Amino acid sequence: MKLIFEKSVKGRGMQYLPKCDVEEVALPESLRRAEAPALPEISETDLSRHYTELVKRVHGVNSGFYPLGSCTMKYNPRIDEEMAALPGFTGVHPLAPLHATEGCTEVIETAKDLLTEITGMDDMTFQPAAGAHGEFTGVLLIKQYHDARGDKKRTKIIVPDSAHGTNPATAAMCGYTVVNIPSAPNGCVDLEALKAVLGDDTAGLMLTNPNTVGIFDENILEITRLVHEAGGLCYYDGANLNAVMGVVRPGDMGFDCIHLNLHKTFATPHGGGGPGSGAVGCKEHLSEFLPKSALMTGEEGIQVKSFAGNFLVVVKALTYILTLGKEGIPMAAKNAVLNANYLMRKIQGTFEPAFDRICMHEFVLDLSTFKKETGVSALDVAKTLIDNGMHPPTMYFPLIVHEALMLEPTETESRETLDWAAEVFRSLYELAHTDPDYMHASPHNAQIARPDEVKAARNPILKYQG
């Protein structure tokens, strides 16, 4: 497929801008560019075809099953987009006077009320733009809390090995020493290991719950009690809230602060790097440390993004919560859990789960025995799924399971889709035993087969170089 720049023909284009109705003012010479920008020139027909062709090459939630573990690739209702597209929300200037933006303020306040209710927190900020950004903000709350009390000896953050990779990265970014603790054989935090590292140098614990192997920690109350007893605070990575929203609340489990991924659980499409929101909630004792929008309030304190963050993501979250309501929210969570367990049991007998127990919203398959038998790796299976019209699951994560495939079907998939997916997995299991070479060479029908992933990550080509 040609790039839009390669389709460009000089002088071609479309001109729909209305006549300028104000006096034109020439830019000062010093601000003018020497040459016109090299923008593509193309007719509307060809532009429309270009994007349609691009859409066909992408696998999105709207084109097929997308069980990418830990990412909650569920269907996001269109009404949420419609509300976020209302001109009253899109046209507002962040510096408009407060009396002109009362509707936006009400959206933020209502969303805050509902999300603090859902999480059992007392206060919330929508400033962080992503989950990891929310973690950074949340751990800064913990840091400010200890600093404000003059408690300078707390230099360590404890992170279980079943945490999302962003957790230890966040603690390190905030200047803490990361203390890793292992999981018990049942996938939960090893309490003895936790007790062994707790002390008066403990600033806090970061816990992903349900964790990255899809397990709700059965000792959660004991864990938060132990950390508090040592004088530390408890941080809840709530990016997996889709499994528990409306059913249990992190605040009731003893957590002091939390982040949510509004772009996973609360209806903003994601995956393309688009605007997200890592809303951070906290209990009252951390409220004073939340980010302030210095421009609006003149107050001092941390600020992690300008103004109120990605406001339109909050509009979508609010619409989503209001349309699902008090019954719909827990029902979505329960169906997410049901779908994951259904798919896990349907696949079992071929590919085996890493933990043979009831899971939450996602589960991890352990393909290490399968690989020993067939020579076919988790990567080969994932690549062959592409040819079957399915987005691959998350691969080689979490690190504590070797040859891992992590599946999160979400609540918005039908039983028919799950049955089909299980059938595909079973057929690939058979194929690995009869024609492993075919799988080593997969995908056979994709636009890109096996790129050099290290090179793609380290030296991405992000702009047209022609």
Ligand X SMILES: *Cc1c(COP(=O)(O)O)cnc(C)c1O
**Which positions touch ligand X (CB under 6 A)?**
70, 130-132, 164, 166, 208, 237, 239-240, 261, 276, 278
Nearer to ligand X, 208 or 319 (CB): 208
Provide, rounded to whole angstroms, the least separation between the CB of residue 168 and ligand X: 11
* Nearer Cβ to ligand X (210/232): 210
Angle at which helices 311-347 and 415-434 cross, to 10°? 60
Beta strand pairing status for 280-282 and 177-181?
A: unpaired
- The CB-of-328 to ligand X minimum distance in angstroms stands at 22
CB nearer to ligand X: pick between 208 and 374? 208
Tell me whether the omega of the peptide bond preceding residue 392 falls within 30 degrees of 0, making it cis: no
Sign of the Cα pseudo-torsion (180, 181, 186, 188, in order): negative
Q: Which residue has the tokens 């923008």?
A: 39
Which residue has the closest beta carbon to ligand X? 131
> What are the DSSP calls for 225-241, one per residue?
HHHHHTT-EEEEEETTG
Q: Among residues 179, 160, 148, which one has the least CA distance to residue 219?
A: 160
β-sheet bridge partners, residue 228: none
Q: How far is the CB of 135 from ligand X (least distance, A)?
A: 7
Contact (Cβ atoms closer than 8 angstroms) between residue 136 and residue 304: yes
Which residue lies nearer to ligand X by CB, 150 or 273?
273
- Report how far Cα 365 is from the mean position of its chain's Cα atoms: 21
Question: What's the min distance (Å) between Cβ of 125 and ligand X?
Answer: 15
Query: Cβ 69 to ligand X, closest distance in Å?
Result: 9
In this complex, which beta carbon is closest to ligand X, that of residue 121 or of residue 132?
A: 132
* Distance of closest approach, residue 199 Cβ to ligand X, in angstroms: 26
> What is the C-alpha radius of gyration for the chain, rounded to an integer number of angstroms?
25
Nearer to ligand X, 132 or 379 (CB): 132
End-to-end CA distance of the chain: 15
The minimum distance between CB 133 and ligand X, in angstroms, equals: 6
Using alpha carbons, select from 262, 257, 23 the residue that is nearest to residue 140: 257
How do 280-282 and 257-260 pair as beta strands? antiparallel
Nearer residue to ligand X within complex by CB, 118 or 230: 118
